[in-house]
Amino acid sequence: MLAAVIQLCSQDDVSKNLARVVVLIGEAARAGAQLIALPENFAYMGDETGKRAIAEKVDGHGVILSAVMGAAREHGVYVVAGGMPETSEDPERPYNSSVLVDPRGAVVAVYRKLHLFDVDLADGTSLRESDATTAGFDKVVAVVHGATTRAGARVDVPIGMSVCYDVRFPELYRSLERRGARIVTVPAAFTVTTGKDHWHVLLRARAIENQVFVLAPGQQGKHPLGRQTYGKSLIIDPWGDVLAQCGDGEGFAVARLDLQYQDRVRAALPCLAHRRLSTPP
């Protein structure tokens, strides 16, 4: 299976952001990608009032998700709609949701970000995601159909979903692996301060610990309200090697996910079978 991670520099104009998203999905699809992952906040990076105003249900009738569904259907690809505001029971605090859309343009799965980013960083940045976001509760493993073995057989591939700050909590990824995940997605908008020191290390660790492929599309650049994101969107293999990485600016990176190689890694180093401490399912 060929997979792509899209890197964006989203602003506070939803229409312009979505237009760019649609273009890049098309470019990644033409490059052969069957599974395309968008970063967190792909449709909007701005103040919380604006985020509340654009929050929508994940029924396909909203502006954001309908654009993604249309692009997935047009190009016949799976799209992980990285992180978008989904309405919750609290109108002041929507979910931060990652949505998997299939090649027919249908919603396959929804993951609502579990861990919220409430920090005061050394560079003076103060972020309180919980003030305007409701935490989720789902541990979602969805299935992507249509990966092909070297013998030509079609196989289904379970994908574990997460968002950004979740990557600092390894127990979530262990739970996803125990549910069968062979790929995990980590759409993000990492700050420069945390990204330069922790982005590669955390993502490679999650790949190595669970012997999974990691797709980590990110935001990169300057956004409203003085926010600046790190980028370096990555695709990592189950040995922890970086298969592809975006540079600065918007664009995408593509890599082949070799499931038979993953099987060989798990057979040669069967650490998943050597666990002695249990993790809740």
**How many CA atoms, within 13 angstroms, populate the side-chain half-sphere of residue 226?**
5
Query: Which residue(s) pair with 116 in the sheet?
Result: none
Query: Which residue(s) pair with 256 in the sheet?
Result: 2
- Show Cβ contacts of residue 16 under 8 Å, excluding neighbours closer than 6 positions: none
Just list the catalytic residues.
40, 113, 164
Axis-axis angle for helices 14-30, 63-75 (nearest 10): 20
Tokens 């301060």, residue located:
193
SS3 101: strand
Gyration radius of the chain over CA positions: 17
Strand order in the sheet with 213-216: 141-148, 154-161, 183-185, 213-216, 234-236, 242-245
CA distance 73 to 63: 16
